[in-house]
Amino acid sequence: EPEVTQTPSHQVTQMGQEVILRCVPISNHLYFYWYRQILGQKVEFLVSFYNNEISEKSEIFDDQFSVERPDGSNFTLKIRSTKLEDSAMYFCASSPGLAGADEQFFGPGTRLTVL
Amino acid sequence: GDSVTQMEGPVTLSEEAFLTINCTYTATGYPSLFWYVQYPGEGLQLLLKATKADDKGSNKGFEATYRKETTSFHLEKGSVQVSDSAVYFCAAGSSASKIIFGSGTRLSIRP
């Protein structure tokens, strides 16, 4: 069964460093998303992406964040200058975007630890 | 804005007990409703969904019915197992839009 994959599973970085989190969505899906979950808290929406552009973003997704689909398969989240409070589990998701099939399929997550 | 409110945890039950986790939503329009499950150390898995009023989603013995009149989507299971121990998230979303998650309910099942 097709699934969303994410790499790395765990990333440790120093405050102020740039990180890139990578995702491979399900191949025939059209919509892509990033969410984050700070330890013990709820899952929060960051950004959605469709047709090579951001379709919606939350207030969390400030200028330090960017997303890109550099080729036909990868979908990346870049944090330019990490802060301690960016430590969280980051989930990528994709959706076919079809009427009646709007569930999002989540990857296993990347745990980001900022020291 | 849209929101999802679910029962606070943790919930601890004995094996074979009946489970209910309450969930209500507020949304403009008619969102699809979901229950996601997160097993220890793992990501989010879709457990079940319902896309319109009176739909019942079911999977692995769990079920939930989309109740428009009470804006609810309560999760139920008749007889829980130890392997059901996990965090359960109620969620709402519209086609291709962001999903709004509830705060999650941690469920622990005693043998």
User: Do the chains contact at B96 and A106, CB–CB below 8 Å?
Assistant: no
Digit-coded pLDDT (tens) for B76-96: 999 999 999 999 999 998 767
**Secondary structure class of A95 (helix, strand, coil):** strand
Q: In a mutagenesis test of the A interface, which of B98, B100, B101, B103 is the best target, namely the one with the most A β-carbons within 10 Å?
A: B98
Q: Does A58 touch chain B (CB under 8 A)?
A: yes
User: Do the chains contact at B96 and A31, CB–CB below 8 Å?
Assistant: yes
Q: Does B45 touch chain A (CB under 8 A)?
A: yes
How close A20 comes to chain B (CA, Å)? 19
Chain B residues touching residue A90 (CB < 8 angstroms): none
User: Do the chains contact at B98 and A45, CB–CB below 8 Å?
Assistant: yes
Integer distance in angstroms from the first to the last C-alpha of chain B?
A: 41
User: Do the chains contact at A109 and B101, CB–CB below 8 Å?
Assistant: no
Query: What is the model's pLDDT at position B8?
Result: 84
Digit-coded pLDDT (tens) for A65-114: 999 998 878 999 999 999 999 999 999 999 987 665 578 899 999 999 99
Sign of CA dihedral A88, A79, B89, B70: positive
Distances (CA, A) of B108 to A40, B43, B46, B82: 16, 18, 19, 8
Give which of B106, B104, B92 is closest to B2, Cα–Cα.
B92
User: Are A82 and A19 in contact, with CB atoms under 8 Å apart?
Assistant: yes
Question: pLDDT band at residue A41, thresholds of 50, 70 and 90?
Answer: confident
Q: Residues with Cβ < 8 Å from B1, sequence gap 6 or more?
A: none
C-alpha span between A82 and B76 (Å, rounded): 41
C-alpha span between B7 and A108 (Å, rounded): 25
